[in-house]
Structure 1
Amino acid sequence: MAAAVLGTVALLLSPTSDARAGDESETTVIAHRGASAYAPENTLASIDKAAQLGFTWVENDVQRTKDGELVVIHDDSLQRTTNVEQVFPGRAPWKVKDFTAAEIARLDAGSWYSPAYAGTRVPTLKDYMCHIEHNHEKLLLEIKNPELYPGLAQQILKQLGSEGWLDQRHLKRLIVQSFSADSIRTVHELRPAITTAYLGTPTAAQLHQFARFTDLINPSYGSLSKGYVSAVHSFEGPHDKPLRVFAWTVNDAATARRVAGYGVDGMITNKPDVVKAALGSN
């Protein structure tokens, strides 16, 4: 049986194999960290900008403060996207996990991007989810750096439940992803109804293992080929549907058209308007 499966995968990965037909009109476009080319990433302003551009899917990153608050920020350090060096000059390397929620709330998370966004704050996950609800948006939530925060996946699930995001209506608007296979496996085991995604490019021989606990394989677009996307699509995930592929981070028209040709199901992008226009012009 194993040999037969591997033989099928090898055929799918061969240069002459055809990928599943990619209908660009159905390609999901996800605003990466919000519309982060046009507003400071992972802020309420960035998800507002995505909504203004007409995009419902946004992606974010969740980490934890010293006193246990969940916050939305990409880097494990506050240095790049806030003025933490000026406010707390003696506390290098300014790791998120070393600051309380109240301390992080004092930081300016917008001026680094543009003076127009001065005073923008690092949002808590609670405030972020309320804003997503207000905007009627959908969320691709990343469990970020779980190795730094024991129990992060479980805490995120508890927060999502508290905000009412684990009922049937909201589950249609939620995907939880991570570079950590263990975290995604934990999410699936604790809340099997949640749609999950693994960030990375498992080998063809590993795909059957991932299909037990994840619904999507989300690789860097540079690691993709038409054959690989076809191989992913050949497996059914835990909800008895073919695995899907969301590619990241696609930011220009030529790349968007090329990646669409691989048959991907979605693209994660800082410039959702550029990608949408490119797919529409194909």
Structure 2
Amino acid sequence: MKLSLCIGHRGIASRAPENTLLGLRAAVEKGFSWVEVDVRPARDGVAVLSHDESLLRCGKADVLVSQTDSAVLSTIAVGAGFGGELAQQTVPTLLSALQMAAELNLGVVIEIKSELGMGVQSATAAVAALSQAPSSVCVLFSSFSQVAVNEALLQAPHIPRAFTCEKLPDDWRTLAARIQPSHFHCDTDFLTPQDVTAVKEAGLGVYAYTVNDAARAEALFDMGVDGVFTDKVLNISKK
């Protein structure tokens, strides 16, 4: 599956509150054709956009996503650090984000966040939202959780998957045979040229996160990385 060279991280986190609908619009306005969003289930089982378990960092609200219904989350502002309309952005459902992405012709990497023992539930919520979304929306599932990625494979085998990790696991070939990813998403600080070469020779893609420096992005592209996740608009020469 072909993604874009630069993928907006959590929308475009340097220009709009992360994991919000305006963040998706801002990414398109800045020229992105793909974004990544973080997804977890609310108390009612509805998949919503939130990187953290709590809204304390983004919304200054001591609220746990897993213990709050999606309708309530949709009323909580999570634009801390921004002003005006951006500051009032609230927690959207994954379905609403996918509906907007379809309108914007925006591809979405859905990172399934999963605390211990929650992989199946988290993946189920994400797949359920996708099943209601416009068929035109282009998506890829990803997760740090092998359980979540495997569950996505079982429930939606037609949707491509990626395994996200800090350092490429020593047993990545065995893992790939089991969960059948199309990509590995690796932390830029731990990714080596040897890792990139090995994964590419196996016919899989490699993306690096989170890359906010153009020179580092260029170095990664020289290594053979297919693309990067970024909070910023990077001025790079590679086409």
TM over 0.5: yes
8 Å CA contact 1:69, 1:101 repeated in 2: yes
Q: Which has the higher helix share?
A: 1
* Larger-gyration structure (1/2): 1
State the Cα distance separating 1:188 from its structure 2 match: 1.6
Instruction: Look up the SS of the partner of 1:151 in the other structure.
Output: helix
Call closer, same or farther: CA 1:158–1:69 in 2, change over 3 Å: closer
TM-score normalised by the chain length of structure 1: 0.77
Instruction: Look up the SS of the partner of 2:219 in the other structure.
Output: helix
State the Cα distance separating 1:164 from its structure 2 match: 3.5
Structure 2 unaligned spans of 5+: none
8 Å CA contact 2:208, 2:225 repeated in 1: yes
| Equivalent residue for 2:204, pick from 233, 240, 243 | 243
Percent identity (aligned): 29
Map 1:75-86 → 2, pairs under 5 A: 75-85=52-62
State the Cα distance separating 1:179 from its structure 2 match: 0.1
- Separation (CA, whole Å) in 2 of partners of 1:118 and 1:222: 31
- Separation (CA, whole Å) in 1 of partners of 2:91 and 2:171: 40
Map 1:1-282 → 2, pairs under 5 A: 28-85=5-62, 94-110=63-79, 112-116=80-84, 117-147=86-116, 149=118, 150-165=120-135, 169-170=136-137, 173-200=138-165, 201-212=167-178, 213-235=180-202, 242-271=203-232, 273-274=233-234, 277-280=235-238
| Matched residue type, 1:278 | I
Call closer, same or farther: CA 1:209–1:68 in 2, change over 3 Å: closer
Give the equivalent residue in structure 2 for 1:19.
none
RMSD after superposition: 1.9
8 Å CA contact 2:108, 2:140 repeated in 1: yes
Structure 1 unaligned spans of 5+: 1-25, 86-93, 236-241
8 Å CA contact 1:178, 1:199 repeated in 2: yes
Once the two structures are superposed, what CA deviation does each residue of 1:178-233 show, in whole Å capped at 9, x if it has no partner? 00112111212332221100001333443243244211111001111111101111
State the Cα distance separating 1:74 from its structure 2 match: 0.5
Paired residues in the alignment total 233
| Matched residue type, 1:70 | A
- Separation (CA, whole Å) in 2 of partners of 1:82 and 1:199: 26
Instruction: Look up the SS of the partner of 1:177 in the other structure.
Output: strand
State the Cα distance separating 1:102 from its structure 2 match: 2.7
- Between 1:205-214 and 1:73-82, the stretch displaced more is 205-214
8 Å CA contact 2:143, 2:163 repeated in 1: yes
